[in-house]
Amino acid sequence: MADTPVLSQDLVRRAVIEVAQLPENELLVVLEFINDLKKQRERPHRESAKQLVALAKQRAAEMGDVPRAEMAARLIKVMDEIRAEAIAKGTAIEGEWEGD
């Protein structure tokens, strides 16, 4: 863990004292939580990416029978809404959308 910042001795001491006073069943929960944190640090976006892919597949299946022209119209509407919001925030990108 070379890239982990050095913790103050006081903070470590306080954490150790608090954890040492926990009953065994709660200590197991703390250890599970620590393991979860380690996994998140190793691959922080893997679960959220999996969830996004699953949602995208679900939406694609739900919209599988929608005609292409209607999908294009929906896309244009959403893009226009996003652009209008970006213009209002002052973060719009110059240029026009040329098609799908």
Sign of CA dihedral 49, 50, 56, 59: negative
In a domain, 26, yes or no: yes
Q: What is the pLDDT of residue 49?
A: 82
Burial grade of 83 (CB within 10 A; 0-12, 13-18, 19 or more): middle
- Residue scoring higher pLDDT (5 or 86): 86
> Tell me, what's the pLDDT at 2?
45
Write down the residue that tokens 């040329």 correspond to.
98
Comparing 5-14, 20-29, 79-88, the range with the smallest average pLDDT is 5-14
pLDDT in the model for residue 83: 86
46 pLDDT more than 80: no
Q: Is the pTM of this model over 0.85?
A: no
Q: Report the b/e string of 50-73 with b at 16+ CB within 10 A.
A: eeeeeeeeeeeeeeeeeeeeeeee
29 and 52 share a domain?
A: no
pLDDT higher at 72 or 96: 72
Listed range (17-21, 43-47, 48-52, 54-58) with the worst mean pLDDT: 43-47
The answer to whether residue 99 is domain-embedded is no
Q: Do residues 40 and 53 both lie within one domain? A: no
Indicate whether 53 and 83 sit together in one domain.
yes
Is residue 1 assigned to a domain? no
Q: Which domain holds residue 54?
A: 47-89
As a whole number of angstroms, the distance between CA 92 and CA 40 comes to 33
- Tell me if 67 is assigned to some domain: yes
Q: What's the domain count of the chain?
A: 2
